[in-house]
Chains A and B, each alone.
Chain A
Amino acid sequence: MSEADDRIVQEFLHESREHLDQLDRDLVTLESEPGSSATLARAFRALHTLKGTCGFLGFTRLGAIGHTGEGLLARLRDGDVTFSLDVASALLTLVDRVRRLLDEIERTGGEGTGDDSVLLSALQRLQGAPATGSAPALHAVEPDAEPVDEPSGSAPGEARIKVDVQRLDRLMDLVGELVLARNQLVTRAGSTDPRVVHEATQRVSALTSQLQSEVMETRLQPIATAWDRLPRLVRDTAVACGKEVRLELEGGETEIDRSVLDAIRDPLVHLVRNAIDHGIESPTVREACGKPRAGVLRLSASHAGGRVRLEVSDDGAGIPVDRVRARALERGLVADVRAQHMSDREWLDLVFRPGFTTTDKVTSVSGRGVGLDVVREHLAAIGGSVEVRTQPLAGTTFELRLPLTLAIVPALVVACGDERYALPQSAVLEVVRTGPGRNGAEIATVAGGRVLRLRDALIPLVSLREQFEVPGDAPEHGFAVVLQSGASCFALQVDETGETQEVVVRPIGAAHRGLAVFAGVTLLGDGRVALILDPAGTARRAGLGLDAPVAAPVPPARRVAAEHEWLVCELREGWFGALPLGEVLRIEEFGRNQIERLGGQLVARWRGRMLPLVELAGAIDPDRATSRLSRRRLTAVVHESAGVPVGWLVDQVLDAVVTTEVPPPVVPRKGVRGTAELVGHPVDLLDPSALLAPGGSCERLARREAA
């Protein structure tokens, strides 16, 4: 085939697949609304175009199928035949067959040999059937052996994306500006005035970041692309399970990186099947419960806090927590000691354990050994998460949280000897200090293996130094990073931990791909190459995860009443205050150059969003406000106040303490709940949420950024 011919065929394949996707959706719509003439007309046009191109390219098999299908659609359009389940099945089989032929053409260049006579005669028979007459048997048409209901991430047609022309123009403009800035830099490079060079460098740097974000945006696709084929999947699954299901899709325009889209296709298919097979009850049961016969399966997507939230919910029977509990205890998944303290939510979370199921029934649709554990693992692999909520008789909701992109991820940089490694922040559960002293977590040895004693949990400890044969000896004081890996967790022992930064993930060279412990490579700010660790691969290499999974340690906030654990800070010279530790997200140091003013509000870039910064002393007592902007570095306690993160500026952080009671305040003021004698000083026990003026600029900004 010549290059030009090849291009025409490629174009044909791409277009035809789009027509088929459209046809798929239209046919499913027609099943519920048989009278929609607009939908019928669109379906007819799609098949007509397909048939026309086939004839032009000499694909006779496709042409014949298209022609007969078109005939049936024409009769439907003219009202000679009514749209029945059999008609739908036959036409959907046609779509599947055409898809297979297209795949064949892509592979071999030809349509291959095969017999379409059963399909063709069924399509003809349906055309001849009188409008009210008896339709042929339900399964008059054998469905194709391999129904195309398992969209795979690497479907051939998806290797290209559509980019808005305006966006392309903007990119071109930016590149033009960048070239200009580079030329300026080149001509000024020899200048003796450092300001001139600095200015030009700044410009290049600003343009580069802008270009990066624009390019990232071209990779964004509406999330609807991932659920394009769901109407068909839902229809087929519902028919197979004998259920009636109405699919509702919401927020399909929410944009997300296409690498993430590819990664969620399979988990989504699994969740949808699961909901129909196990969630939604059969029509008779539903009627008995006083629900409508048809169950509702809802997918809704939205942006939330720099991530995409995707919910898959059904209005079915819900997951019986009692059964989960009984099954878990019966199978010894949970130790008795722990079982007494587990909340319903924690019990429910067990459905994500490998091999866990509450039904003994294996159907053709689900229960084929692919469980929710795989869904969670898939999502964890891309830095996402999945949680489940359920209400008896009212339904179940799976909430997926997805990163916007995989190309740039927040990472925690750790050091061991002279070497630095990046850990995906999404896998980091907690960082603790190790070594002697009252602040250090204890490392114990059990039968030659080391474990970290963290609160009540024993977590297997892996030494990065030993795993990677890093030269040198471990220092006395080090750190352990508790990492989530699939359903389990482990601790990684390192010398130092640095800051969290956004890193651009590059693939590791082909030669080293076999090293499953690395997820990729990145360049750090100083230009050095750093390896990005794959937590799951590292755990496997260290021989972990072969036995029972280790549950993540219970966060301290849940163990002790959060309001009695305090982080004591010096608000300004001689004035001490304490914030509830349970809601402290992080203590950050910001350089003055990282802080900006946004409409009178101080902000800093934090985890990919704008974090409002508020002077804590000034918020309590405006008379005692102090300006810190002359300082080189500012300390902020990032606290979840009234549900949104706010950076409270303080002089310094002193200690974390526990109080058994909250004594009344010495000087009653807004936001001060009490005063206690701690760390040798009177300390005001604060309620930062009360300090946040509702509707104030800070509160508004925080909400907008968190949304």
Chain B
Amino acid sequence: MSERRRFATLRVEGTLYGIEAEHVQEVMGPAPLTRLPLAAPAVAGLMNLRGRIVTVLELRRCLGLPPRAADARVVNVVLRAADNPMGLLADEIGEVLEVDASAWAPRPETAHGPGAGLVSGVYRLESELLCVLDPEAVRARAAA
């Protein structure tokens, strides 16, 4: 029996992305954000998460996609970290998927887009592909 892995899934501009479930602390609706001037382009702002100040990234900007329409839905996926949790803004949240490790494929060599460095590999699902986001690579965009 092959190994199975659990992913929290989210969608940005129609594409399905997954983050290993253990890295996700919680998913929440839009919260008031304080813009952080002069910060890296991917930084959407700072939010107050129950008294903790958390940096929030806009996945669309990380992935080089056009900005979201003003009235579009948005979800905030909070990545777990002992000292420094981080929020990711996505279009919508999907279900938690359990996938078979054998369905994994490395990132295709043709992937050169702005978000290529964030995707560590791809799972072949029945109907579509699940792009796996590397939490550390995503975090690094807060500083770049």
Q: Which of B47, B53, B55 contacts A511 (CB 8 A)?
A: B55
Residues from chain A with a CB closer than 8 A to the CB of B37 are 467-470, 517, 531
Q: Is B73 engaged at the interface, CB distance under 8 Å to the other chain? A: no
Give Cα A43–Cα B40 distance, bound, in whole angstroms: 57
Give Cα A509–Cα B55 distance, bound, in whole angstroms: 8
Q: Is A105 engaged at the interface, CB distance under 8 Å to the other chain? A: no
Q: Is A527 engaged at the interface, CB distance under 8 Å to the other chain? A: yes
The answer to whether A528 and B34 touch across the interface, beta carbons within 8 angstroms, is yes
Given A419-B34, A511-B143, A512-B55, residue A529 in contact with residue B47 (CB < 8 A): yes
Q: Is A506 engaged at the interface, CB distance under 8 Å to the other chain? A: yes
Residues from chain A with a CB closer than 8 A to the CB of B48 are 523, 527-529
Tell me, rounded to whole Å, the shortest Cβ–Cβ distance linking B86 to chain A. Answer: 9
Q: Is A256 engaged at the interface, CB distance under 8 Å to the other chain? A: no
Tell me, rounded to whole Å, the shortest Cβ–Cβ distance linking B68 to chain A. Answer: 17
The answer to whether B34 and A531 touch across the interface, beta carbons within 8 angstroms, is yes
Residues from chain B with a CB closer than 8 A to the CB of A470 are 37
Give Cα A469–Cα B143 distance, bound, in whole angstroms: 19
Give Cα A511–Cα B41 distance, bound, in whole angstroms: 13
The answer to whether B143 and A419 touch across the interface, beta carbons within 8 angstroms, is no
List A residues 485-523 near B (Cβ within 8 Å): 506, 509-512, 514-515, 517, 521, 523
Give Cα A550–Cα B47 distance, bound, in whole angstroms: 37
Give Cα A527–Cα B84 distance, bound, in whole angstroms: 19
List B residues 38-56 near A (Cβ within 8 Å): 38-40, 43, 45-48, 51, 53, 55
Tell me, rounded to whole Å, the shortest Cβ–Cβ distance linking B129 to chain A. Answer: 30
Q: Is A530 engaged at the interface, CB distance under 8 Å to the other chain? A: yes
Q: Is B36 engaged at the interface, CB distance under 8 Å to the other chain? A: yes
Residues from chain B with a CB closer than 8 A to the CB of A517 are 37-38
Residues from chain B with a CB closer than 8 A to the CB of A515 are 36, 38-39
The answer to whether B39 and A512 touch across the interface, beta carbons within 8 angstroms, is yes
Given A521-B46, A527-B48, A528-B34, residue A506 in contact with residue B53 (CB < 8 A): yes
Residues from chain A with a CB closer than 8 A to the CB of B38 are 468, 515, 517, 541
Tell me, rounded to whole Å, the shortest Cβ–Cβ distance linking B111 to chain A. Answer: 25
Give Cα A419–Cα B34 distance, bound, in whole angstroms: 7
Residues from chain B with a CB closer than 8 A to the CB of A527 are 32, 48
List B residues 50-68 near A (Cβ within 8 Å): 51, 53, 55
Residues from chain A with a CB closer than 8 A to the CB of B4 are none
The answer to whether A521 and B35 touch across the interface, beta carbons within 8 angstroms, is no
Residues from chain A with a CB closer than 8 A to the CB of B32 are 527-528
Q: Which residue of A lies closest to B45 (CB)?
A: A529
Give Cα A510–Cα B54 distance, bound, in whole angstroms: 11
The answer to whether A521 and B53 touch across the interface, beta carbons within 8 angstroms, is yes
The answer to whether B39 and A523 touch across the interface, beta carbons within 8 angstroms, is no
Residue among B51, B53, B142 with the most chain A CB within 10 A?
Answer: B53
Tell me, rounded to whole Å, the shortest Cβ–Cβ distance linking B29 to chain A. Answer: 15
Residues from chain A with a CB closer than 8 A to the CB of B40 are 511
Q: Which residue of B lies closest to A526 (CB)?
A: B32
Tell me, rounded to whole Å, the shortest Cβ–Cβ distance linking A506 to chain B. Answer: 6
The answer to whether A529 and B84 touch across the interface, beta carbons within 8 angstroms, is no
Q: Which residue of B lies closest to A520 (CB)?
A: B53
Residues from chain B with a CB closer than 8 A to the CB of A541 are 38
The answer to whether B39 and A529 touch across the interface, beta carbons within 8 angstroms, is no
List A residues 458-491 near B (Cβ within 8 Å): 467-470
Give Cα A468–Cα B143 distance, bound, in whole angstroms: 18
Give Cα A556–Cα B135 distance, bound, in whole angstroms: 57
The answer to whether B51 and A509 touch across the interface, beta carbons within 8 angstroms, is no
Give Cα A511–Cα B47 distance, bound, in whole angstroms: 15
Give Cα A4–Cα B130 distance, bound, in whole angstroms: 48
Give Cα A521–Cα B47 distance, bound, in whole angstroms: 11
The answer to whether A509 and B34 touch across the interface, beta carbons within 8 angstroms, is no
List A residues 350-400 near B (Cβ within 8 Å): none
Give Cα A510–Cα B47 distance, bound, in whole angstroms: 15
The answer to whether B35 and A509 touch across the interface, beta carbons within 8 angstroms, is no
Give Cα A467–Cα B48 distance, bound, in whole angstroms: 24
Q: Which of B36, B43, B51, B142 contacts A531 (CB 8 A)?
A: B36
Q: Which residue of A lies closest to B141 (CB)?
A: A511
Give Cα A467–Cα B38 distance, bound, in whole angstroms: 9
User: Which residues of A come within 8 Å of B, CB atoms?
Assistant: 419, 467-470, 506, 509-512, 514-515, 517, 521, 523, 527-531, 541
Contact sample, A vs B, 26 pairs, CB 8 Å cutoff: A467-B37, A468-B37, A468-B38, A469-B37, A470-B37, A509-B53, A509-B55, A509-B84, A509-B142, A510-B84, A510-B143, A511-B40, A511-B142, A512-B36, A512-B39, A512-B43, A514-B143, A515-B39, A517-B38, A523-B48, A527-B48, A528-B32, A529-B34, A529-B47, A529-B53, A531-B36
User: Which residues of B come within 8 Å of A, CB atoms?
Assistant: 32, 34-40, 43, 45-48, 51, 53, 55, 84, 139, 142-143
What are the 7 tightest A-B residue pairs by CB atom distance, in nearest-first order? A468-B37, A511-B142, A529-B34, A511-B143, A529-B46, A521-B53, A509-B55
Known: A511-B142, A517-B38, A528-B34. 18 other contacts (CB 8 A): A470-B37, A506-B53, A509-B84, A509-B142, A511-B40, A512-B143, A515-B36, A515-B38, A515-B39, A523-B48, A523-B51, A523-B53, A527-B48, A529-B53, A530-B34, A531-B37, A531-B46, A541-B38
